[in-house]
Amino acid sequence: MKCVLCLVLACVALASCKDNDYDLSYTDATVGVGSDTLQVPTSSTKYITMGDLIDLRGNDLVYIDHATGNYLMEKSDHNVKPITITVPDGATAAPGGGNGTGYQPESAVCSFGEVTIEHAPEFLAHKDAILKLDNPQVILTIKSDMPVGGTISGDLCSYDEAGKKIATVHIDGLRIEKSGTSTICICRHADGIDATGYTQVKEVSNLADIMPVVPHRMRFDASVKADDMTDVAAVAGKTYTITPTFRFTAPLTFQEGSTLVFVFVENGWNLDFRKLSLMDDAYMSATVNADSSMPQEMEVSVIAIDVEGKPISRDRIEINVDRNVAASPDGVKRVVTPAKLRMDEKVDRAMHDIDGMQFTFKGHPSAGIQLNAITHTLKMDDIKVYFIGKLVADFNI
């Protein structure tokens, strides 16, 4: 889309005179290869990759797997806090001396891990973004010196920057091994997860509810209940130690109903635009074929901005795009959407204020397809620019 406006300016630059009115009411002033009137060297953009749209600089949540180009989330808690569990006072059982229905010491509810997200990328953290991750995962690695196994249950909670709770997901039935290390994958669904790398894969169907928006903090508060200790050697008051590590991870793959927001600005145009006016209900328009392999339908909106980067009211400059860019169904097959952009000057000489434009793409991802920085691309083909009506160019400015 940004190439469209460059072509508009190229058209104006061809008229190298002063104080002229160009009445093009009866002229098809098409700019593009194949035009019968005016031509420019190119009529399409390069391939714009997903990596061109997504700025990951300074973020601490999303990264690219450079072997595949796939986007992933990951955040780990490096502040390990041991948890203790104590045999009740008065316990005197010895191996073989019980009936298996004795005591089961339990820890208090405490943190099994916490992560803080300081800088999420804008396309996820934008106020209009809606996140429904396809398969978020919490990975717990737990070392225990208990002579029996145990069960963990608790609540995974997310919080905003003010400390207000966003969501809670209850998780139970997690198993830890006796006198060893357990690695547990908590996930929304087990499809595609290599279970051989874990001692347990636990499906929690509503796990994605934890992140409807990017939280500032996530924390897993839980307790451990030891298995029956009646038949093991036990010493009253003995304390065992459980040491957890916590990691949140997810492929950047979404469910239906998600919205990602990509915003970019093209500016520095005021030296040219301050010379232009559209008179007598004239307008500029452009047609383009948007050729996309991106697995997301994209709703496009454009606003003009001034030299201070502030939006120019639509009562002064109105810019409309007539349709959404269609999604590739699988991230491979290319889909072409013919689209039209139109700019109207609502107030005389309002174009003089334009320094650039802010483009907002609201992407609605196709379900189950992981976003890729390299293979998912957008290309603008067959760009044609029209002036309808009278264009005034004052080159004395």
Contact 11, 31 (CB under 8 A): yes
Q: Is residue 315 part of a domain?
A: yes
Residue 234: the pLDDT is 65
Same domain? 358 vs 313:
yes
DSSP string covering 13-32: HT---SSEEEE-TT----BS
pLDDT tens, 161-215?
999 999 999 999 999 999 999 999 999 999 989 999 999 999 999 999 999 999 9
Residue 370: the pLDDT is 97
For residue 119, give its domain range. 72-251
Same domain? 78 vs 35:
no
Residue 19: the pLDDT is 39
Q: Is residue 385 part of a domain?
A: yes
Helix (H) / strand (E) element for 140: namely strand 137-144
251, 272, 301 - which closes a domain = 251
Contact 357, 266 (CB under 8 A): yes
Same domain? 149 vs 228:
yes
Same domain? 229 vs 103:
yes
Same domain? 240 vs 128:
yes
Q: Is residue 317 part of a domain?
A: yes
Residue 8: the pLDDT is 40
Same domain? 159 vs 86:
yes
Helix (H) / strand (E) element for 393: namely strand 377-393
CA distance 5 to 288: 12
Helices (H), the chain: 2-13, 50-53, 122-125, 270-273
Q: Is residue 196 part of a domain?
A: yes
Contact 260, 105 (CB under 8 A): no
Same domain? 268 vs 361:
yes
192, 216, 251 - which closes a domain = 251
Q: Which residues of the chain have pLDDT under 70?
A: 1-43, 90-102, 234, 395-397
Residue 132: the pLDDT is 97
Same domain? 170 vs 282:
no
Q: Is residue 50 part of a domain?
A: yes
314 three-state secondary structure = coil
- Residue 187, classified by CB atoms within 10 Å of its CB into exposed (0-12), middle (13-18) or buried (19+), is buried
Strands 180-187 and 200-203: parallel
Same domain? 231 vs 179:
yes
What amino acid is encoded at 202 in this protein? K
Same domain? 110 vs 174:
yes
Residue 142: the pLDDT is 97
Q: Is residue 63 part of a domain?
A: no
Q: Is residue 67 part of a domain?
A: no
pLDDT tens, 211-229?
999 999 999 999 999 998 8
What amino acid is encoded at 214 in this protein? V
Same domain? 267 vs 158:
no
The tally of domains found in the chain comes to: 2
199, 231, 251 - which closes a domain = 251
Q: Is residue 65 part of a domain?
A: no
Same domain? 243 vs 264:
no
Q: Dihedral (C-alpha) 185, 186, 189, 195: value to the nearest 10 degrees?
A: 20
CA distance 195 to 74: 19
CA distance 285 to 128: 28
